[in-house]
Structure 1
Amino acid sequence: MNSLPFNPLFVKMRPHLLLAMSWFILFITIIFVCGFTLVFSADDERYLICRNLFDCGNIKGIGYPFSGSNRPDYCGYPGFGLNCSNQIPEITITQSTYKVLAINNQSRTINVARTDYRENLCPTLLLNTTLNPSLLNYTTDDHNITIYYGCPAQGPPTSHLLTQFPCSINTTEMTGYFTATDDFSFLGNLASNLIRYLESCDNSVKVQVRQSALEPIIANATVAKLLGALNQGFGLVWNANDTLCDTCNSSGGQCGYDQTTKAFACYCADQPRDFNCLPSPPSQSTKKISNPDSLKIGLSIAGTVVGVFLGCWIMTIIQRKRRKAALLKSKDLPIAATPSRKGLATSTNLSQTTPSLTPSKSDIGKGSTYFGVRVFSYNELEEATNCFDSSKELGDGGFGTVYYGVLRDGRVVAVKRLYESNMRRAEQFMNEIEILAHLRHMNLVELYGCTSRHSRELLLVYEYIPNGTVADHLHGRQSNSGLLTWPFRLSIAIETASALAYLHASDVIHRDVKTNNILLDNDFHVKVADFGLSRLFPTDVTHVSTAPQGTPGYVDPEYYQCYQLTDKSDVYSFGVVLIELISALEAVDTNRHRHDINLSIMAVKKIQNHALNELVDPFLGFDKDFVVRKMVTSVAELAFRCLQQQREMRPTMEEVLEILRRIEKENYGAEKADELDIREDDVGLLKHPPPPLQLSPDSMSDQF
């Protein structure tokens, strides 16, 4: 066997050289370990921020689940964001705004008051208080008072239980009543007559007051006393993963919400965790030099590194002395690790046991039907949504929360869970089923089925549309994607118009046309959704008289003024959608100038002042691309016609669809630029912009 040549000087000098090198390496190692320890001992930024309470208006020391002011969203829970710009903070609950009067962390209750009943009983929009029961519920101290609007002139059969008041909403005069009880059984035969009278009123709204505020109203019911009770507010109990939060807090962490995983997060001193921090609680000092856990890790690494180098040094000396360095070096080479066959087998077994999502046709259509659609059991839908797990929420609104689910037959679905199972919700539930069960159009969302009306909860099952809403892509969470180019926006307008024209031909008025109700699939094809407010329109009448319902910023102003619903009401709403597609601005935005809060009014002004370029989304390239400029201008002219205050001056949806198709066909072949603008005769069409009464921030709310 070959050996290294013997050199006495090398044997004498080499150990000292190795010792110096070892000390140098040890010094570098210590610096590395200290830096490692300091890095890992630094507090997580979210932990530091979320452990600080915040003040909002006149309420002090607010913490989880609330966010607002200088407290970011990830320190709170979705649905508990506070607006702290006023002396009295405000909160948005299912798109409606309430004043926050008090917060009690011990009982986990919040006292709120409706902003639309601050001064009188005649708000612009008549909306019931709606809650997401997975987040908020009424307290046992809350009591309902029903207010009726637009009641017949002849008066009720008995009036001592009702308090009458005059009301003027959008220049429409009407008679209203309110009552502190809905139980008229003690009236005997008069009860049924009174109930029939109240049901004949155009609309009713349930408002909540505390029991302590109810007694003065029962003793002497006046409008002033009811307003006083309403301004005292009512209580709500919150549920925001409180059990997990208690566990997190007890382990030294701070409660929060991970916006990426859409789940509760426990922010610890070193890093976020799912439920609780490491057993040893973090130090409460604001400046840390070390952390027990990170120090242990650092010292372990340091010990290992030093031991390895000392071992190598000793081994090298022995090698040199025995003149067998080559042999020992070859024996010291690390053995390459081979992949674990057990790991491979586990992976294979997992893939084999994963259930197939291919729909089983034998399962489809089983069970009873309701209006011709399948009736699902509550248990099946609970299983499909993992017990309505909050991580599967797709969105929520005025009527209910929508969850992602997978049925037993493999179909991916969207399950809408209505907030309350009262009579009004049941009517909307049956209304949506009756309308969608008989409609088939490529641009309408398909209804797969529902639960029985006698189920423990009212649930609707739709096809799942994966790409969000038009609102998401224009000014929501996907607005920065850059995917919604002008060709896609024009296609969305055409397909939406096609769906609405089909509805009108089927004697159906949607009544809530808005970008939040226009869903998109992965190819950006349209699916119009949400028919809870829709009406089947009699073929032998010109209009239906009904109290205004819909979303602020989209509602036909003539419908507001005259309480007359027609198919032209959808045309007006679609005009707002066209302006949103052009501008990428929201239909209502209180952050804009007070004269521009309502997008339709702002758009009309821009068009009248020949300033369309100030309205158009810069992303579309309006100033650079001739074809886009010509098409956008033509669509703006069409939107201008749709936004006429007098319904006779608006086109029908069939005409709107025809014009949009012509715009698409004629302009994609354009090759040279011309100077384009809105024609003076077109501008003259809109002599009276929609009334400013839609602009009141107090009345702004959205419905699902």
Structure 2
Amino acid sequence: MSVPTPKITTAQRMPIALTQKEATSVCLIIGLVARTGTGVAIGLLILVAIGIWTWQKLQKLKERKRKEKCFKRNGGLLLQQQISSTRGSVLLELTLFKIEELEKATDKFSESRVLGKGGHGTVYKGMLSDGRIVAVKKANIIDDGAQVGQFINEVCILSQINHRHIVKLFGCCLESQVPLLVYEYISNGTLSQHLHDKRNNSTFSWENRIRIAAEVAGALAYLHSYASTAIFHRDIKSSNILLDESYRAVISDFGLSRSVSIDKTHLTTLVGGTFGYLDPGYFRSGKLNDKSDVYAFGVVLAEILTGEQAVSSKDDQGLALRFRSAVKDDCWFEILDKVVVYEGGKEEIHAIAKLAKRCLKINAKKRPGMKEVAAELEQVRKTKKAAGPGHGHEEEERKEGGGDEENFWDKNGSRSQDCYSLGIDSEQDTDRLLPISG
């Protein structure tokens, strides 16, 4: 019987003894491997950091080029030329806002900040970093040079005007996809809203109406006669007259405005303006002058007196023609707004109605200038103040014990159908024509 050879397991094997030299070599190898791994890790981290830094640089460069492209497309170079050419004139400080500041001010142009929308853009309410409340007008997508010119034109004109009844422009932003204008915030809507919104109409007093008319007339007289260069607004209408919390009137929207040198009496332009307010002579000839604004203001006066819109879907004649015809046929009391009847004195209403008719003359030479219009309206206000409160027609009727509306109309004019179906008079109007945009 053979005796099996015993097996020696790994655990039972004797450890291998290393010499001092061999042990040192092993340690060196381990250290080298460790260092190499750490070096590779550090190298990778450095490469990642360089990659991130390079990407950020490229993004900033890309963003800068995008902003430069927007600046040029939005008329920045043209604006710089305009500013440099007006050095030495009364050019007010104009701020070029960063898009980031306006995004922060308007909560990234949130729908909750929208004040209004129109054909030319959207207006947002915002707060600047210095606490100023502003209205930021974001233009619609610009696709032609005419729109750029209109935008730059408004900036250049408003930057040179400082008048309490003309909207103040704080600055603009040209580095966004579309140009942005930053105005003072006027809080109480437009004259159009107060005249034509029935919820506001009943509380919009006669005193406010004639004061607003006088303020707008004074501002237009300033633009025509007292500014460093004469300025024709070209788009006066009730929706471009803003009202603050005290119902102070402020003229806005100077996109279609034109400056004219002292030695010129008119400009020949492509016809621009709003249907219902267009001067018929300007429409036919393309020759713009101060009397074109006078005509548009006459339409606003007619709106103030009647509470009616310049153009209505129910009336294809237009307010200008209908008002002129009513005054001519001496049945203009028929179309007065009830608030005007209740609160206004007969003489002052008659004076303003006659003034409105003169402003609406087809022959521009027969229209008064805005200085004369402003002076007449101020005189009406002084007369009203001297007469004191409680002198309106309705007040007189109530004192006599017959304050119903029907009695008033019976005394001041018949309700003849002729006054409501008036034809075109000898002074042919153009209110039937299609709207024209500038």
How would you bin the TM-score normalised by the shorter chain?
A: 0.5 to 0.7
Question: For residues 155-185 of structure 1, what are the alpha-carbon distances to aligned partners after superposition, in whole Å with 9 as ceiling and x for unaligned?
Answer: xxxxxxxxxxxxxxxxxxxxxxxxxxxxxxx
SS of the equivalent of 1:403 reads strand
CA distance in 1, matches of 2:104, 2:435: 36
1:421-460 Cα shifts (integer Å, max 9, x gaps): 33222211110111011101110111011013x5432000
Q: Which amino acid aligns with 1:441?
A: H
**Cα gap change, 1:523 to 1:465, in 2 (>3 Å):** same
Q: How does 1:203-602 map to 2 (within 5 A)?
A: 372-422=93-143, 423-452=145-174, 454-476=175-197, 478-480=199-201, 482-505=202-225, 506=227, 507-592=230-315, 594=316, 597-602=317-322
Alpha-carbon distance in 2 for matches of 1:522, 1:701: 33
Tell me the SS of whatever aligns to 2:274: coil
- Work out the CA distance in 2 between the residues paired with 1:477 and 1:620: 14
Q: Specify which of 358, 361, 364 is matched with residue 644 of structure 1.
A: 361
2:338 equivalent to 1:618: yes
Kindly indicate whether residue 366 of structure 2 is the aligned counterpart of residue 628 of structure 1: no
Offset of residue 639 of structure 1: 0.3
Question: One-letter code of the match for 2:195?
Answer: L
The letter for the 2-side match of 1:381 is: L
Counterpart of 2:431, as a letter, is Q
Q: Deviations over 1:382-435 (max 9, x none)?
A: 111111112211112221111111111111110000102332222111101110
Q: Deviations over 1:654-680 (max 9, x none)?
A: 000000011111233348889989xxx
CA contact (8 A) 1:630 1:667 kept: no
- Structure 1 unmatched ranges of 5 or more: 1-369, 678-685
Provide the secondary structure at the position in 2 that maps to 1:414: strand
**Cα separation, 2, equivalents of 1:377 and 1:587:** 39
- Higher-RCO chain (CA-CA 8 Å, sequence separation at least 6): 2
> Does the 8 Å CA contact 2:266/2:288 hold for their aligned counterparts?
yes
Distance, in Å, in 1 between the alignment partners of 2:384 and 2:133 is 39
Q: Between Structure 1 and Structure 2, which shows a larger proportion of helix residues?
A: 2
| RMSD (CA atoms) | 2.4
The 1:655–1:553 alpha-carbon spacing in structure 2 relative to 1, beyond 3 Å, is same
TM-score by length of 2: 0.68
Check the 8 A contact 2:232/2:257 in 1, yes or no: yes
Residues 371 and 433, structure 1, Cα contact 8 Å, conserved in 2: no
Change over 3 Å in CA distance of 1:649–1:565 after alignment to 2: same
Q: Which amino acid aligns with 1:446?
A: K
**What are the residue-to-residue correspondences of 1:52-71 with 2, within 5 Å?**
none
Cα separation, 2, equivalents of 1:440 and 1:611 = 42
Alignment partners' CA distance in 1, 2:188 and 2:194: 9
CA contact (8 A) 1:467 1:522 kept: yes
One-letter amino acid of the structure 2 residue matched with residue 502 of structure 1: Y
Which residue number corresponds to residue 384 of structure 2?
667
Q: Contact 1:645 / 1:688 at 8 angstroms: preserved in 2?
A: no
- Structure 1 residue 643, shift from structure 2 partner: 0.2
* 8 Å Cα contact 1:509-1:534 kept in structure 2: yes
Query: How far apart are the structure 1 equivalents of 2:281 and 2:436?
Result: 20
Cα distance in 1, alignment partners of residues 198 and 139 from structure 2: 24
Alignment CA distance shift 1:701-1:473 (3 Å): farther
Q: Describe the SS at the equivalent of 1:413.
A: strand
Corresponding pairs, count: 315
CA deviations on 1:453-499 (whole Å, 9 max, x unpaired) are x543200000000100000100037534x331100000000000011
Q: Distance in 1 between matches of 2:138 and 2:248?
A: 25
CA contact (8 A) 2:271 2:436 kept: no
- Matched residue SS, 2:177: coil
Q: Is the 8 A contact 2:321 2:431 kept in 1?
A: no
Tell which structure's C-alpha radius of gyration is larger.
2
1:586-607 Cα shifts (integer Å, max 9, x gaps)? 0000123x3xx40000101111
Q: Deviations over 1:178-225 (max 9, x none)?
A: xxxxxxxxxxxxxxxxxxxxxxxxxxxxxxxxxxxxxxxxxxxxxxxx
Task: Mark the CA change 1:701 to 1:395 in structure 2 (over 3 Å): closer, same or farther.
Answer: farther
Secondary structure of the structure 2 residue equivalent to 1:658: helix
Percent of matched pairs sharing the same residue: 38
Q: Report the 3-state secondary structure (helix = DSSP H, G, I; strand = E; otherwise coil) of the residue aligned with 2:124.
A: strand
1:398, 1:702 within 8 Å by CA — same for their partners in 2?
A: no
SS of aligned partner of 2:374? helix
The answer (yes or no) to whether the contact 1:588–1:598 under 8 Å persists in 2 is: yes
Q: What is the identity, as a one-letter code, of the residue corresponding to 2:101? A: E
What is the TM-score with the length of structure 1 in the denominator? 0.43
Partner of 2:431: 694
SS in 2 for 1:461: strand
Letter in 1 for 2:146: R
Amino acid at match of 1:517: N
Indicate the structure with greater strand content: 1
**Which amino acid counterpart does residue 302 of structure 2 have in structure 1?**
I
How far the C-alpha of 1:687 sits from its partner, in A, is: 7.0
Q: Deviations over 1:18-76 (max 9, x none)?
A: xxxxxxxxxxxxxxxxxxxxxxxxxxxxxxxxxxxxxxxxxxxxxxxxxxxxxxxxxxx
CA distance in 2, matches of 1:474, 1:564: 31
Q: Say whether the 8 Å CA contact 2:106–2:124 is kept in structure 1.
A: yes
Which 5+ residue runs of structure 2 have no aligned equivalent? 1-90, 397-410, 414-423
Quickly say closer, same or farther: Cα 1:525–1:613, change in 2 above 3 A: same
- The DSSP-based 3-state class of the residue aligned with 1:428 is helix
Task: Supply the AA of the counterpart residue of 1:493.
Answer: A
Q: Deviations over 1:275-324 (max 9, x none)?
A: xxxxxxxxxxxxxxxxxxxxxxxxxxxxxxxxxxxxxxxxxxxxxxxxxx
